[in-house]
Amino acid sequence: MTDEQEAMAGRPIGRPRRLEKAVRTRPIPESLVEVALAEFRETGELPDDRRTAAQAIDRVLNPRMPPPPMGPERFGAMVREIAARLEDEDLDAPSRPVRCARTELYHEAVYGDDHERHVARRILAWHADCGVDVTAHDYLSEAELPDYGTCGMHLLWFPERLVKPPHARQARRLLARYADLRERIDRS
């Protein structure tokens, strides 16, 4: 794309583009992540900035992250220690963490579209208001993943929540028929 096309698309060009890239790639200060994490633990609220929210969630999912950048000697020692541990581990293990309701809800709260993000963040805030530790390792450990749709909507009992009298039996049959159709669809 030419600079003129970029400008017409509403994207920064030239120096502003380089500046925007530099800001996006700059590491988030550790103190800011700590504040966001403390706020998340207390209220269930994540920051609006997606990068900061992702860092806070990453700290919840990986609490034993290495400290921020260090001197070359300490870094070399850490690399040698990790390499020694990797020799003993099974390298065929899946690299993506096992899907669970907790990680899916966190993912929706950070990376989902506007609607998914709003629903997931409201659920996290609601649980925190009820006194649930949304950062605990066993948070949502009993919750099932949905067959379809988002985890947030599933936790709000959607679409079952739509079943109301006087047509409850008909609605349940319809939901069962949809579930049957989803199972029969070839997804290969």
Mean pLDDT of the chain: 82
Tokens 């990376």, residue?
A: 111
The answer as to whether 16 is a domain residue is no
φ, ψ at 12 (rounded to 5°): -65, 150
Q: Is residue 136 part of a domain?
A: yes
Split into its structural domains, the chain has a count of 2
For 12-26, 49-63, 167-181, which range has the lowest pLDDT when averaged over its residues? 12-26
96: CB partners within 8 A, 6+ apart: none
DSSP letters of 158-169?
A: TTGGG--TTSHH
Domain shared by 41 and 122, yes or no: yes
Q: How far, in Å, CA of 186 to CA of 180, rounded?
A: 12
What is the sign of the dihedral through the CA atoms of 81, 83, 88 and 90? positive
Specify whether 106 is located in the same domain as 45: yes
Residue 9 lies in a domain: no
Residue 128's closest CA among 144, 154, 104, 109? 109
Using one digit for the tens of pLDDT, what is the confidence trace for 37-88?
A: 999 999 999 999 888 999 999 889 887 655 556 677 777 777 777 777 666 6
Q: What is the pLDDT of residue 11?
A: 63
Same domain, 185 and 104: no
Assess if residue 8 is contained within a domain: no
Same domain, yes or no: 133 and 175: no
Say whether both 41 and 100 belong to one domain.
Answer: yes
Regarding whether 169 and 113 lie in a shared domain, the answer is no
Q: What is the pLDDT of residue 94?
A: 42
pLDDT category at 23 given cuts 50, 70, 90 is: low
C-alpha span between 108 and 127 (Å, rounded) = 16
How many CB atoms are closer than 10 A to CB 81? 10
Residue 47 belongs to some domain of the structure: yes
Indicate if 100 and 130 belong to the same structural domain.
yes
Q: Say whether both 135 and 170 belong to one domain.
A: no
My answer on whether 185 and 102 are in the same domain is no
The answer to whether residue 79 is domain-embedded is no
Tell me if 11 is assigned to some domain.
no
Tell me what pLDDT residue 155 has: 92
Tell me: pLDDT of 103 over 70.
yes
8 A C-beta contact, residue 158 and residue 149: yes
Mean pLDDT for 4-26 is 67
Domain containing 121: what range? 27-65+96-144
| 49 and 134 both lie in a single domain | yes
Residues 6+ away with beta carbon under 8 Å from 146: 153, 154
Cβ contact 101:155 at 8 Å: yes
Claim to verify: residue 107 and residue 168 sit in the same structural domain: no
Residue 186 resides in a domain = yes
- Identify whether residues 134 and 111 lie together within a single domain: yes
131: region left, alpha or beta (phi > 0 left; psi from -120 to 50 alpha): left
